[in-house]
Structure 1
Amino acid sequence: MKSEFLLAITQLSAEKNLSKEVVLAAVEQALASAYRKDNFAVNQNIEVKIDPDTGNVAVWAEKVAVELLSDKRREISLEEARLIKADVQLDEVVMVEATPHNAGRIAAQTAKQVILQRLHEAEHSAIFEEYADKEGDIISGVVQRIEPRQVLIDLVRTEAVLPPAEQMPNERYRVGQRLRVLLLEVMRTPKGPRVMVSRSHPDLVKRLFEMEVPEVFNGTVEIKSIAREAGHRTKVAVAARQEGIDPVGCCVGLRGIRIQNIVNELSGEKIDVVLWSPDTAAFIASALSPAQIVTVELDNEGGVATVVVPDRQLSLAIGREGQNARLSAKLAGWKIDIKPVSVYEEEKAESERLKAELAAVAKEEKEAEAELEAELEPEPEPEVKEEPVAEVAVEVEEQPAAEEEITLEVLAELEQPIPDMVEESVEEEPEPEEVEEVEPPVFFEPPVFAGKSELRFAEDILGPRAPKGKKKKKKAGRNKNQDSESQSSKRVRRLDATAGDDEL
Structure 2
Amino acid sequence: MNAEFIEALYQLEKEKGISKDILIDAIEAALISGYKRNFHSAQNVRVDINRDNGQVRVFARKTVVEEVLDPRMEISLDAAQEINATYQLDDIVEIEVTPADFGRIAAQTAKQVVTQRIREAERSIIYQDFIDREDDIVTGIVQRNDNRYYYVDLGKIEALLPHTEVMPGEKFKHGDRIKGYITKVEKSTKGPQVLVSRTHPGLLKRLFELEVPEIFDGVVEVKAVAREAGQRSKIAVHSQDDDVDAVGACVGHRGVRVQTVVDELRGEKIDIVHWSEDIRDWISNALSPAKVLSVEVLDNDKVARVLVPDHQLSLAIGKEGQNARLAAKLTNWKIDIKSESEMVADEQDDSILTTDQIDD
TM-score calculated relative to the size of structure 1:
0.59
Gaps of 5+ in 1: 365-504
Structure 1 residues 66-465: aligned runs within 5 Å: 66=64, 77-78=80-81, 89-93=88-92, 101-103=100-102, 113=112, 116-241=115-240, 244-358=243-357, 360-361=358-359
CA distance in 2, matches of 1:69, 1:59: 28
CA displacement at 1:236 relative to structure 2 = 0.9
Greater RCO, 1 or 2 (C-alpha within 8 Å, sep 6+): 2
Distance between the aligned counterparts of 1:236 and 1:172, measured in 2? 26
Partner of 1:414: none
Amino acid at match of 2:297: L
Q: Deviation digits for residues 165-190 of structure 1, max 9, x if unmatched? A: 11111322111122221222233434
AA aligned to 2:332 is G
1:344 aligns to what SS in structure 2?
A: helix
User: Cα offset for 1:108?
Assistant: 5.7
Shift of the 214–96 alpha-carbon distance from structure 1 to 2, 3 Å rule, reads: farther
Cα–Cα, structure 1 residues 122 and 78, in superposed 2: closer, same or farther, change >3 Å?
A: farther
> Residues 341, 43 of structure 1: CA spacing in aligned structure 2 closer, same or farther, 3 A cutoff?
farther
Residue identity matched to 1:197: V
Q: Which amino acid aligns with 1:46?
A: R
| Residue type of the alignment partner of 2:130 | Y
Structure-2 separation of matches of 1:348 and 1:201: 42
Does the Cα contact within 8 Å between 1:67 and 1:78 map onto a contact in 2?
no
Provide the residue aligned with 1:56 in structure 2.
Answer: 54
- Contact 1:317/1:324 (<8 A) preserved: yes
Task: Indicate the percent of aligned positions where both proteins have the same amino acid.
Answer: 44
Task: Please provide the CA RMSD for this pair.
Answer: 3.8
Cα separation, 2, equivalents of 1:140 and 1:194: 16
Q: Secondary structure at the match of 1:227?
A: strand
Aligned length: 353
Which residue in 1 is equivalent to 2:46? Answer: 46
Normalising by structure 2, we get a TM-score of: 0.79
Measured in 2, the distance between the counterparts of 1:251 and 1:97 equals 75
2:56–2:106 Cα contact (<8 Å) kept: no
1:309-350 CA deviation, whole Å, 9 max, x = no partner? 222222222223322121111111222232222222222233
Whichever residue aligns with residue 354 of structure 1, its letter is L
Deviations 1:402-449 (A, max 9, x none): xxxxxxxxxxxxxxxxxxxxxxxxxxxxxxxxxxxxxxxxxxxxxxxx
Amino acid of the residue matched to residue 35 of structure 1? Y
Using the TM superposition, give the Cα deviation of residue 290 of structure 1 relative to its aligned residue in structure 2, in angstroms: 1.3
Q: Give, as a single letter, the amino acid of the residue that structure 2 aligns with 1:210.
A: E
Cα deviation, residue 103, structure 1: 1.8
Structure exhibiting the larger radius of gyration computed from Cα positions:
1
Deviation at 1:239, TM superposition (A): 2.3
Unaligned runs of 5+ in 2: none
Give the AA of the match of 2:207: L
Deviation at 1:202, TM superposition (A): 0.8
Secondary structure (helix, strand or coil) at the match of 2:102 reads coil
CA contact (8 A) 1:281 1:298 kept: yes
Task: Name the counterpart of 2:33.
Answer: 33
Question: What are the Cα deviations for residues 136-167 of structure 1, in whole angstroms up to 9, with x where unaligned?
Answer: 22233221112232211123333221112111
How many Å separate the matches in 1 of 2:175 and 2:313?
A: 45
Contact 2:44–2:62 (CA under 8 A) maintained in structure 1: no
Task: Tell me whether 344-353 or 102-111 shows the greater mean CA deviation.
Answer: 102-111
* TM-superposition CA deviations, 1:259-315 (whole Å, max 9, x none): 333333323322222111122221111011111111222334544322222222222
Q: Distance in 1 between matches of 2:126 and 2:338?
A: 55
How big is each residue's C-alpha offset from its partner over 1:52-100, in whole Å with a ceiling of 9 and x where there is no partner?
xx56244464635759998698768447558xxxx87553236777765
